[in-house]
Amino acid sequence: MRKHAEWITQADERVLEALEDSDLPLSKEEIRDRLASAGVGGAMDYSQSYVDARLARLQAYGFVEATRTRQYALSEKGTLYLRGEFDASLARSGDAGERPVHPNVDVVE
C-alpha cells in the first residue's frame, strides 16, 4: 500500500505510473498523452499546464528527475513510493536539490 502525503494528487500517481511503465524518459507532452489514453470517458484528460505543474511539484519533492533534454524519468524515491516502500509525507519540497526545469511553473506550498 502506498504511503500518501497531503500534496499528492491522483494525477501525480498517474504521472508516476506512466513513467514507471516507460523504458525511456518521457516529454511532458508524452506523459499527458499517456494519461489521456489511459482515461475512461475523459477522466484522465488533464490539461498540459496541469501536467506541467504536477511534474514541477513531483520534481521539487524528488519523485521525478528531468533530463537535459526536458524529459522526465522516475527517480529512486518515486520508484520506492510506487512500491509502498517510501512514506511520501516524509518528503520535503527541495529534496531534489534543484529548482524545477520550468521556472515559469510555480511550486505552491
Q: What is the pLDDT of residues 78-101, one digit of tens each?
A: 999 999 999 999 888 877 654 444
The answer to whether 46 and 34 have CB atoms below 8 angstroms apart is no
In a domain, 5, yes or no: no
Can you give the residue range of the structural domain that contains 60? Answer: 10-90
The answer to whether 62 and 93 have CB atoms below 8 angstroms apart is no
pTM above the 0.85 mark? no
Band (pLDDT 50/70/90 cuts) for residue 40 is very low
Give the chain's domain count: 1
CATH number of residue 83's parent domain: 1.10.10.10
b/e burial code for range 58-73 (CB count within 10 A of at least 16 → b) = bbbbbbbbbeeeebbe
In a domain, 95, yes or no: no
Report, as an integer, the average pLDDT of 54-77: 95
In a domain, 3, yes or no: no
Nearest alpha-carbon partner for 4 in 109, 95, 91, 93: 91
494525477: which residue's cell?
11
In a domain, 30, yes or no: yes
